[in-house]
Amino acid sequence: MAIYVALPILIIALHLVAIKKGWRVVKSVSKVLIMPYLFLAFSAFTGSKGIYVPCSGFLAATVVLYTIGDLLLEFDNAFLYGGISFSIGHVLYSAAFLSFGYSMGWGLIFIGLWMFIYIFLFEPVLVKARPNSTKYILYATFVAMLGISVGAADFNGAWLAKVVAVAGTLCFAFSDALVIIRQTSDQSEEERVDDDLLIMATYVGANILLFSSIALLCAF
**pLDDT over 70 at 52, yes or no:** yes
3-class DSSP state for residue 102?
strand
pLDDT confidence of residue 207: 97
Q: What's the rounded Cα separation, in Å, for the pair 196 and 163?
A: 26
| pLDDT tens digit sequence for 77-124 | 888 899 899 999 999 999 999 999 999 999 999 999 999 998 888 888
pLDDT confidence of residue 60: 97
Q: What's the rounded Cα separation, in Å, for the pair 33 and 28?
A: 9
pLDDT confidence of residue 127: 78
In eight-state DSSP terms, residue 110 is: H
Number of H helices, E strands in the chain: 9, 0
| pLDDT tens digit sequence for 134-152 | 888 888 999 999 999 999 9
pLDDT confidence of residue 155: 94
pLDDT confidence of residue 1: 67
User: Do the Cβ atoms of 98 and 149 come closer than 8 Å?
Assistant: yes
Q: How does the average pLDDT of the chain come out, rounded?
A: 91
pLDDT band at 16 (very low <50, low <70, confident <90, very high): very high
**pLDDT over 70 at 209, yes or no:** yes
* Long-range contacts of residues 13-16, Cβ cutoff 8 Å, at least 24 apart: 15/200, 16/197, 16/200, 16/201
Q: What is the mean pLDDT of residues 18-31?
A: 93
pLDDT band at 45 (very low <50, low <70, confident <90, very high): very high
3-class DSSP state for residue 153?
strand
